[in-house]
Amino acid sequence: MIGIKSYGAYIPLLRLSQAEIARAYDRGAGPGELAVANFDEDTITMGVEAGVDCMRGVDRSTIDGVFFACTTPPYREKQSAPVIAEALDLKRELITTDIGNSLRAGTTAMNLALAAVESGRANNVIVVSSEMRRGFPGSEYERLLGDGAASLLIGNSDVIAAFEGSYTISDEMIDNWRAEHDNFVKSWEDRFVLTQGYTRNVHEAVKGLLKKYNLKPKDITKAILYGPDARNHQAMAKELGFDLKTQVQDPMFGAIGNTGTAMTMMTLVAALETAKPGDLLLVASYGDGADAFLIRVTPEIEKARGHRGIKGHINSKRSNLTYNKYLRLRGLLAVEESRRPVEVSSPVMLLRDRETLLAFKGVKCKVCGRVQFPKQRVCYHCRSKDQFDEVRLSDKKATIFTFCVDHLAATGDPPTIKAIIDFEGGGRTLCHMADRNTDAVKIGSEVEMAFRKIHDAMGFHNYTWKPRLVRE
C-alpha cells in the first residue's frame, strides 16, 4: 500500500491583520489576518520546520528522497532540497529535487513521489512545500497572500492514508505569473482568470476523478480544495456538490492567507489531523492545470497524532505586527546601513562546517561524556584528542542559562536577544534567539531550535539554527 506515512506543517509566528493593512492605506478592512515569515525566515527555513515536524517519530535514515515544491525559492540557480536534507540530517544517498514555477508544484511533487515509490526506486520520499509570495504593496494580492509550509512523507508501508487514485490535467494560459525579474505576483483580469483558469480546470479534474473511480460527491468525507480566495473557494465547493458545513476542509484564508504552492498540502495536513480511519479525502489543486487525488485514511492514523502540524501552529501567534514592520521584514523598506563591521562568509567554511551549521551536530567525548558544540578536536574537560561521537542537537530542548537584549547588533528586527543555552543531555552554545520576545525571556526559559537564515553575506544565504521560546 502506497500513501502518506507522516505529515508536518509550519506557520510562522507573526500575523499581520487585515485591519492593520487597511489602516496603512486608509480604507475599510475585512476580518482576518495573514501569516508572515520573520526577517530570518524564507521558504527553505519554513520547509525545514515542516520537515522536522514530519520527522517526529520517523527513522531519518530510511528517507530516500526530498522533493521541495515552491515558487519562491531563495535561489534561481542552486537547489533548495539539499539544504533541507542536510538540516534534517538525512543520509547522503538521496534523490533531491526542487519543483517550482506553478501553484500546482506541491501536488506535482506528491505525484512524482508516488511514482518514485510505486516504481520501487524509493521507499520513502519526503515532499516539502513552502511558500512566501509577495503582492505589490497596497494590492489585493498583498491582502490575500500568507506564508507557510507543509510536508508529507510518502512511502510504501505503515501508511496513515493510502492513495486510491489520481487525475491530472495540464493547461496553458496566462492567468497569474511572475516573469524572470518580477518580485510581485501579476495577474490578468479577474473574471478571465477565474472562469477560464481556476474554475474550469479544478472542475474538470474533480469531475474527471469522480467519474474515473465511479464516485459521487457524497462519497467523499472531506474535500481539500485549493482556492484563490475564500469566496471563490466556497463557490467551487458548492458547485462541485459538496456540503459546505460538513464536507469541505477550511483552507484557512482568514487565519493565514493563501499560501500558494503550500496551501493544498497545508489544508490536507489540517484534514489528516481530524481524520478517522476509513475517511475518503479528495484533494484538488490548481496551477497550469489541475491535480486531483483520492486518499483513504487507514487505522494507522491514530498513531500519527504527535505532530505540531496546523493545529499546533495556527493559534500560536503574535498578531501585533505593524504594516511598517511587515514592509521591513519583507525587505520592501530601504533601511540605513548599520555602523557595524560588515558580515562576511566563506563557501569553503560552509562546506567544511555543514554538519555543524545545517545538521547542528556537536560531539560527545567518548572518555568523559561531555557534549560540546561546535565540535572540538581536544575535549575541554579531559583533554582526550579526537575521541568523540557525533550528537545532533537540532531536535534537543534547551534552557536559557543567561541572556542579554542587544541593541547594537545589526539585525532585521532589533533588538536581538542573545542567549547562552544549555541543551538537555549536555552541550551549550551562544546564539541569537529567533522570534525574540523580550517580555517573556527569562533565565531558565525552555527553548527549542529553529532553522533560520543568519545573513546574506557575499550574496548567498547562510543558515543555521537559533533557539526560540517553545511555541505554544
Partner 1 sequence: MSIANRCAIIGMGCTKFGERWDTSFNDLIVEAAYEAYADAGIESTDLDAGWIGFTSSSRTGESLAGPLKLDHIAVTHVENACASGMEAIRNACHAVAAGEYKMVLALGVEKLKDSGLAGLPQPGGMHYAHPVLLTQINAPAYYALAATRYFYRYGIDPKKGKEYLAKITVKNHYNGSMHPKAHFQKAVSMETVMSAPIIAWPLGLFDCCPTTDGAAAAIITTPEIAKKYRNDYVLVKSFGLAIGQGMGIVDTDYDWTHWEETEQAAKRAYAGAGVKNPRKEIGMIELHDCFSISELLVYEGLGLCEKGQAGADVDAGTFELKGELPVNPDGGLKSFGHPVGASGVRKVYELYKQLQGKADLPQRQLKNPKLGLAHSQGGHPGAFECIISIVGLPA
Q: Which residues of the shown chain bind partner 1 in the complex (CB under 8 A)? A: 338-341, 343-346, 349-350, 353, 356-357, 370, 372-374, 376, 380-381, 401-411, 415-416, 418, 420, 422, 426-432, 438, 443, 454-455, 457, 462-464
Triad 17, 18, 21: Cα angle to 5°: 95
* Residue 432 · residue 385 · CB < 8 Å: no
Per-residue CA distances from 455 to 38, 82, 344, 461 (Å): 13, 19, 9, 6
**Residue with smaller CB distance to partner 1, 135 or 374:** 374
SS3 300: helix
**Residue with smaller CB distance to partner 1, 319 or 402:** 402
Strand partners for 295: 163, 281
Q: Are strands 280-286 and 222-225 parallel, antiparallel or unpaired?
A: parallel
**Residue with smaller CB distance to partner 1, 307 or 436:** 436
Q: Provide DSSP, 409-421.
A: S--SSSSEEEEEE
Cβ neighbours of residue 412 under 8 Å, at least 6 residues apart? Answer: 38, 39, 40, 328, 329
Question: How many angstroms separate the CA atoms of 110 and 4, rounded?
Answer: 10
**Residue with smaller CB distance to partner 1, 174 or 457:** 457
Dihedral, 376, 381, 386, 390 alpha carbons, nearest 10:
-60
Question: How many angstroms separate the CA atoms of 435 and 45, rounded?
Answer: 13
Min separation Cβ 404 and partner 1, Å: 3
> Three cell numbers at 421?
543555552
**Residue with smaller CB distance to partner 1, 174 or 368:** 368
**Residue with smaller CB distance to partner 1, 120 or 341:** 341
Min separation Cβ 316 and partner 1, Å: 26
Min separation Cβ 73 and partner 1, Å: 20
Triad 367, 370, 371: Cα angle to 5°: 125
**Residue with smaller CB distance to partner 1, 174 or 409:** 409
> How far from the centroid of its chain's Cα atoms is residue 469's Cα?
19
* Residue 144 · residue 228 · CB < 8 Å: yes
Min separation Cβ 403 and partner 1, Å: 6
**Residue with smaller CB distance to partner 1, 210 or 363:** 363
**Residue with smaller CB distance to partner 1, 115 or 430:** 430
DSSP-assigned letter for residue 156: S
Cβ neighbours of residue 219 under 8 Å, at least 6 residues apart? Answer: 280
Min separation Cβ 389 and partner 1, Å: 16
* Residue 30 · residue 298 · CB < 8 Å: no
SS3 370: coil
**Residue with smaller CB distance to partner 1, 222 or 468:** 468
| Structural Rg of the chain based on CA atoms | 22
> Three cell numbers at 242?
459538496
> Three cell numbers at 211?
467519474
